[in-house]
Amino acid sequence: MSFFKSLFGKKQVVEKRENPIWTNEDFWRWFEENEQGFHNAINEHKNIERDFFDHLSPNLNKLRKDCFYFLSGMSDDTTAELILTAEGNIRNIAFLEALVATAPELPNWKFTLLKPSMDIENTNIQMEGYVFNKDTLSFYANEHPETPDEIDISIVHRDFEEKNRATLTNGTYIFLDNFLGELEFATTIDRLDVIGHEEATGELIPIEKLKAFLIWREKEFVEKYDGLRYNTEDDSYSSLEAKTQEGDPMLATVNLTLLDWDRKASHPWVCVLQIKYDGRENNGLPSGEVYELLNEIEDELTDNHLKDQNGYLNIGRQTVQGTREVYFACKDFRKPSIVLDKLSKDHDPRIAVSYDIFKDKYWQTFNKFLV
| Residues 140-166 pLDDT 10s | 999 999 999 999 999 999 999 999 999
Number of domains the chain is built from: 3
pLDDT of residue 371: 67
Question: What was the pLDDT predicted at 21?
Answer: 80
- Mean pLDDT (the chain) is 93
Same domain, 241 and 310: yes
Q: What whole-number distance in Å separates Cα of residue 230 and Cα of residue 232? A: 7
Strand order in the sheet with 352-359: 237-243, 249-255, 312-320, 323-330, 269-276, 352-359
281 Cα distance to chain centroid? 36
18 with 39, same domain: the answer is: yes
- Mean pLDDT within 277-291: 96
SS (H, E, C) 260-290: CCCCHHHCCEEEEEEEECCCCCCCCCCCHHH
Asked whether the beta carbons of 67 and 95 are under 8 A apart, the reply is yes
- 1 falls within a domain: no
Alpha helices (runs of H) in the chain, residue ranges in sequence order: 3-4, 24-44, 48, 54-63, 90-101, 165-179, 182-188, 210-225, 256-259, 288-300, 334-345
* Per-residue confidence (pLDDT) for residue 6, from 0 to 100: 41
Domain match, 327 and 203 both: no
Whether 104 and 133 share a structural domain? no
Beta bridge partners of 70: 84
Does the residue 190 lie in any domain?
A: yes
Residues 36 and 124 in one domain: no
Do residues 130 and 248 share a domain? Answer: no
Within 10 angstroms of residue 192's Cβ, the number of other Cβ atoms is 16
| Residue 331, domain member (yes or no) | yes
The answer on 144 and 94 residing in a single domain is no
Average pLDDT rounded to a whole number, residues 34-60: 95
**Residues 244 and 361 placed together within one structural domain of the fold:** yes
Last residue of a domain, one of 98, 113, 128: 113
CATH of the domain at 311: 3.30.70
Residue pLDDT, tens place only, 293-302: 999 999 999 9
Band of pLDDT at residue 16, cut at 50, 70 and 90: very low
What's the rounded Cα separation, in Å, for the pair 60 and 76? 25
Question: What pLDDT band is residue 226 in, cutting at 50, 70 and 90?
Answer: confident
pLDDT tens by residue, 193-221: 999 999 999 999 999 999 999 999 999 99
Whether 361 contacts 264, CB under 8 Å: yes
Q: DSSP characters for 85-101? A: E-TT-HHHHHHHHHHHH
- Average of pLDDT values for 110-115? 97
Domain around 129? 120-224
Identify the domain boundary among 224, 257, 277. Answer: 224
pLDDT of amino acid 88: 86
pLDDT at 277 over 50: yes
Which band of pLDDT confidence, cut at 50, 70 and 90, is reported for residue 15? very low
Indicate the pLDDT class of residue 85, thresholds 50, 70 and 90: very high
pLDDT for position 9: 43
Instruction: Give yes or no for residue 11 having a pLDDT over 50.
Output: no
50 with 132, same domain?
no
The number of angstroms, rounded, from the C-alpha of 253 to the middle of its chain's C-alpha atoms is 26
Least confident span in 19-23, 66-70, 128-132, 179-183: 19-23
* Residue 179: closest CA among 202, 155, 162, 146: 155
First to last CA, the chain: 41
* In the predicted structure, residue 8 carries a pLDDT above the cut 50: no
In a domain, 232, yes or no: no
> Does residue 341 belong to any structural domain of this protein?
yes
Q: Mark whether 145 and 209 lie in a shared domain.
A: yes
The pTM of this model reads 0.90
CB-based contact 23:14 (threshold 8 Å): no
In a domain, residue 229? The reply is no
Query: Do 138 and 104 belong to one domain?
Result: no
Q: Is 3 a residue whose pLDDT tops 90?
A: no
Query: Are 145 and 183 within one domain?
Result: yes
Q: What is the pLDDT of residue 48?
A: 94
Residue 284 pLDDT exceeds 50: yes
The predicted structure's pLDDT at residue 121: 97
In a domain, 230, yes or no: no
Query: Is residue 331's pLDDT more than 70?
Result: yes
**144 domain-assigned:** yes
Q: Which of 88, 113, 138 is the last residue of a domain?
A: 113
